[in-house]
Amino acid sequence: MPDAPGLELIRGEIEQDHPGAVLDTSFDRDQPALVVDPAQILAVLTWLRDAPGQGYGFLSSLHAADYLPAEPRFGVHYELLNRDRVERVRVKAMLAEPASGDGEGVSTAALGSSPDEDGSLAEPAGRGTGRRATVDTPSPSLPEAQLPEIDSCVELFPTAEFQEREAYDFFGIVFRGHPDLRRILLPEDYVGWPQRRDFPVGGEPVTFTYNERAYG
């Protein structure tokens, strides 16, 4: 993997072709990372894949993180690998949590919950009871306008297809242009994004449709 000076050289070369694309660099625990403007994520990934001398042609991992209460709240991490040099570089895009129409954050709605009369947060439908949620609209429970969004990189790296679906399934991050963006591990009508840091913990396991058919 590139060292700290090498990472800055990569940043400088990207900036020549895509000004403002790289917002920062980090070198934490020997892991080099480019912090990228989400609006230019595809440009940066394409450059790292195709530019002479780079050749990061394999996306080994795409995953998301929730940094609540920090802002921007969400991070999408891309682990790129040059298999000829056995060299790895990380690209990170930070996404803010969109505000709802009333100007408030959407974390309560993202849970499929509503405050009780005493102001406490009610447990979301489908959580704790082990039953799938009964809702009028399909998952996600929030309009896409209230979910963080970033462009899909499936056309660049086919390995991203299922990994983007997993990030969507657990964090509610929408990948624009994904060929089949839907839940991958949880039931389609499950309400909420269970790896967000404000999602309630505990309760019984989710009952999947397969389990209902097989075991009643």
pLDDT tens track for 101-112: 443 333 333 333
- pLDDT value of position 213: 60
Q: Phi and psi at residue 68, in whole multiples of 5°? A: -45, 130
- pLDDT value of position 35: 97
* 34 burial type by CB count under 10 A (0-12 exposed, 13-18 middle, 19+ buried): buried
Residue 151 CB neighbours (<10 A): 19
- Work out the pLDDT band at 12, boundaries 50, 70, 90: very high
- Work out the pLDDT band at 207, boundaries 50, 70, 90: low
- pLDDT value of position 215: 59
Residue 181 above 70 pLDDT? yes
- pLDDT value of position 205: 67
The predicted model scores a pTM of 0.76
- Report which of 106, 60, 174 is spatially closest to residue 182, judged by C-alpha positions: 174
**29 or 155, greater pLDDT:** 155
| Lowest-confidence segment of 34-43, 109-118, 191-200 by average pLDDT | 109-118
- pLDDT value of position 177: 97
- 10: CB partners within 8 A, 6+ apart: 2, 34, 48, 54, 89
- Work out the pLDDT band at 18, boundaries 50, 70, 90: very high
Range ranked top by mean pLDDT from 17-31, 134-148, 171-185, 202-216: 171-185
Residue 191 CB neighbours (<10 A): 25
Residue 171 above 70 pLDDT? yes
- The C-alpha angle with vertex 30 and arms to 25 and 36, in degrees rounded to 5, equals 20
Please state the rounded mean pLDDT for residues 114-118.
40
Give me the domains of the chain, ranges plus CATH numbers: 1-96 (3.30.460.80), 98-216 (no CATH)
| Lowest-confidence segment of 76-80, 170-174, 188-192 by average pLDDT | 188-192
Mean pLDDT, all residues of the chain: 80
CA distances, 115 to each of 31, 77, 118, 119, 120 (Å): 41, 33, 8, 5, 5
pLDDT in tens, 134-158: 333 334 455 555 899 999 999 999 9
